[in-house]
Amino acid sequence: MLIRQEYLTSKMALKDLPGSSPLPNANLVLVFGSVKRFNDGKLTSMLKDRYPTAQIIGCTTSGEINADGVFDDSVQITSILWEKTMQRVAQVKMSSMQSSFETGAGLAKQLKADSLKTVMIFGDGLNVNGEELVLGFKSVLGESIPLMGGMAGDGATFTKTLQMFNDTISDNLVIAIGLYGNNLVTATGALGGWKPYGPPRTVTKSDKNVVYELDGKPALPLYRMYIGDQYAKGLPGTGLKFPFAVMEPGSRDVEKIRTLGAIDAKANSVSFFGNVPEGSTIRMCQTNHDRLVEGAGGAAHLITGSLASTNTNLPGLALCVSCVGRKGVMSEQTVDEVKEVRQILGPQTFLTGFYSYGEIAPRPNTTDTVFHNQTMTIGYLTENMTV
């Protein structure tokens, strides 16, 4: 596995890239950048000229990640040459959010094979129900195939996200990359760093990602009471700092977070980037900078722990997908969580990724993928050539 990276800062134009690409025979290129960058009509042709044999996949972000930190309005380009691993790409343009489950199942059917080891997924962050999408994939692939990736962002404007598939840039796309073969080594990590507060509440009325009642009471007034008048005035934007934890039965650990995306004053409802099932138990969450950095470090330690029996000195790629809400809490110190991941994974690991509207990764120490919010997720890839 060969990996090379190049990037444009916010002040650089396409013409500022070197004359030739660092890995022109790459077979996969991942591209993350701002909406402004993706609206540049010359971007796809430039990438195809530099990587003529590659499948070029990417999406817009709420901040771009590389080993040096977190950037806005940049273009991050990671080229990969698989030496033994096979890849297959499937994509679809969705017609409505209601078809998210069917979309996931349909893409999974295209990728399913005995030699399938993992799937990377990138989708529209505003027009796809990420949880239904993941459930659709799992309905075909089961829980033994780890999924990794996330949903595109657009800064934090929640207006329009874009996805890239070769020479096409569009909204409403879902793109999936299947990776195959025994030479591929994968590992995943996902932790948030959020702390529950207040009493547990039962979701007594909801419809997928829309919560209408908690303990039989209208959800929006109760949510406003918990976060206080100062933050309530800024909803839905301030909701990024006060997500829900969906508690697993019999567990005190926070494994699944849901971020507020919208409110409906007439219906007294709150909507989230992911489902909150009726009958589930939730708790409000809060955090601070240090807890979020600790969570990111914990996700990285899950990777190194999983790789303990392999040669971790091999060059590898860590796809880091973190949540725009975490960026909102850490502000200018957001880079600290990326620095923590880099330190733990080591200099032989290339980092790429983005801040998202939803993250896709398995629960800690499992291959059972769930849709996350407010979580640092890491999908690690390398090849073992001795197999």
Q: How does pLDDT run across 286-313, given as a tens digit for each residue?
A: 889 999 999 999 999 999 999 877 765 7
The two structure tokens encoding residue 71: 């950037």
44 pLDDT band, cuts 50/70/90, is: very high
The two structure tokens encoding residue 151: 């949903």
| Dihedral pair phi/psi, residue 175, rounded to 5° | -120, 135
Closest to 358 in 3D by CA, of 291, 258, 249: 258
Asked if the model's pLDDT at residue 259 lies above 90, the reply is no
Residue 205: the pLDDT is 97
Which helix (H) or strand (E) is 381 found in, with range?
A: strand 376-383
Closest to 361 in 3D by CA, of 286, 285, 255, 281: 255
Give the mean pLDDT of 91-117. 96
The two structure tokens encoding residue 69: 């930190």
Distance of CA 21 to CAs 81, 168, 236, 240, Å? 13, 21, 43, 39
Please calculate the CA angle 268-273-274 and round it to the nearest 5 degrees.
100
**CA distance from start to end of the chain:** 14
- The partner residues of 179 in beta bridges, in order of sequence, read 87, 118
Closest to 200 in 3D by CA, of 260, 268, 248: 248
273 pLDDT band, cuts 50/70/90, is: confident
**HSE of 248, CA atoms in CB hemisphere, 13 A:** 8
Residue 114: the pLDDT is 97
Cβ-defined contacts of 107-115 (< 8 Å, 24+): 107/136, 107/137, 107/174, 107/176, 108/136, 108/137, 108/139, 108/140, 108/141, 108/176, 109/140, 110/176, 111/141, 111/176, 111/178, 112/140, 112/141, 113/178, 113/180, 115/86, 115/180, 115/181, 115/182
Residue 252: the pLDDT is 67
251 pLDDT band, cuts 50/70/90, is: low
Contact 330, 337 (CB under 8 A): yes
Max mean pLDDT range (49-58, 187-196, 200-209): 49-58
Asked if the model's pLDDT at residue 242 lies above 80, the reply is yes
- The partner residues of 247 in beta bridges, in order of sequence, read 281
Distance CA 162, CA 123 (A): 9
Asked if the model's pLDDT at residue 86 lies above 80, the reply is yes
Contact 174, 110 (CB under 8 A): no
Residue 241: the pLDDT is 85
382 three-state secondary structure: strand
> pTM (2 decimals)?
0.92
Provide the residue ranges of all domains of the chain, joining segments of one domain with +. 2-191+290-383, 195-284
Asked if the model's pLDDT at residue 110 lies above 80, the reply is yes
Q: Is 385 exposed, middle or buried (0-12, 13-18, 19+ CB in 10 A)?
A: exposed
Distance CA 128, CA 95 (A): 10
Residue 167: the pLDDT is 95
191 three-state secondary structure: strand
Q: How does pLDDT run across 145-169, given as a tens digit for each residue?
A: 999 999 999 998 889 999 999 999 9
Distance CA 128, CA 173 (A): 9
Could you tell me the maximum CA-CA distance found in the chain, to the nearest angstrom? Answer: 63
288 three-state secondary structure: coil
Residue 102: the pLDDT is 97
Distance of CA 49 to CAs 54, 87, 177, 206, 252, Å? 10, 21, 22, 49, 52
Core vs surface per residue 74-92: b (16+ CB within 10 A) or e: bbbbbbbbbeebbbebbbb
Mean residue pLDDT of the chain comes to: 93
| Dihedral pair phi/psi, residue 103, rounded to 5° | -65, -45
Proportion of the chain above pLDDT 90, given as a percent = 79
Give the mean pLDDT of 223-233. 92
